[in-house]
């Protein structure tokens, strides 16, 4: 692949209009952005003795509006049940989450935030909302909405083409 030194790779790809290459460029940008989001999340959660991964699990529970099983949390987040279980175990040791009986399953307990977990989650979200407002300054709402649609379509396509475990 050759392109004029005056053009960036991104500009070259956009000019070429090859959707596969555009999707590759988007994927690389997502990877870079994910790393930056994890670093920002780790910074936001550090004062609460948490990590961005633990915050993500807390968010899955909080946003559901009701207790969930570990398998439901994993499925909602697109993660493995084992990975989520490890985070749940850490959060339980910290007093952030608790368990309750599941009327639909004897062994799969329901996971809920404790009062301490709700307080920590609210504090983290307050800090995140301030950062999100700052980051969103100057961003176009229509372009953000389009980006969300693209990412949802990409996630659905990846889910549909997931290889068996």
Has residue 21 got a pLDDT over 90?
Answer: no
Quick one: CA torsion of 165, 84, 75, 130, rounded to 10 degrees? Answer: -140
Which pLDDT value is given to residue 42? Answer: 97
Residues 118-129 pLDDT 10s: 999 999 999 999
Which pLDDT value is given to residue 106? Answer: 83
Angle among Cα 65, 69, 70 to the nearest 5 degrees reads 115
> Within 13 Å of residue 27, how many CA atoms lie on the same side as its CB?
10
Measured from the Cβ of residue 18, the count of other Cβ atoms closer than 10 Å reads 13
* Lowest mean pLDDT across 8-17, 83-92, 125-134, 137-146: 8-17
Please state the rounded mean pLDDT for residues 34-52.
Answer: 97
Quote the mean pLDDT of the chain: 91
Q: How confident is the model at residue 61 (pLDDT cuts 50, 70, 90)?
A: very high
Residues 87-120 pLDDT 10s: 999 999 999 999 999 998 888 999 999 999 999 9
Q: Which has more confidence, 3 or 131?
A: 131
d(CA 93, CA 2): 55
Q: Is 108 helix (H, G, I), strand (E, B) or coil?
A: strand
Measured from the Cβ of residue 41, the count of other Cβ atoms closer than 10 Å reads 20
Please state the rounded mean pLDDT for residues 79-94.
Answer: 96
Please state the rounded mean pLDDT for residues 41-47.
Answer: 97
d(CA 127, CA 41): 10
Stated pTM of the model: 0.82
Please state the rounded mean pLDDT for residues 17-28.
Answer: 87
């Amino acid at each position: 692949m050759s392109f004029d030194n005056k053009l960036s790779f991104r500009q070259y790809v956009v000019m070429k209009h090859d959707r596969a290459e555009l999707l590759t460029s988007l994927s690389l940008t997502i990877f870079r952005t994910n790393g930056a989001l994890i670093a920002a999340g780790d910074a936001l959660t550090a004062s609460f003795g948490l990590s961005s991964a633990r915050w993500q699990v807390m968010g899955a529970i909080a946003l559901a509006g009701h207790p969930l099983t570990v398998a439901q949390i994993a499925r909602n987040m697109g993660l493995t049940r084992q990975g989520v279980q490890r985070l749940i175990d850490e959060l339980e040791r910290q007093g952030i989450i608790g368990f309750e009986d599941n009327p639909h399953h004897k062994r799969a307990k329901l996971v809920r935030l404790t009062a301490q977990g709700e307080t920590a989650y609210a504090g983290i979200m307050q800090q995140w909302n301030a950062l999100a407002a700052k980051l969103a300054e100057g961003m176009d709402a229509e372009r953000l909405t389009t980006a969300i649609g693209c990412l949802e379509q990409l996630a659905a396509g990846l889910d549909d083409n997931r290889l068996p475990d």
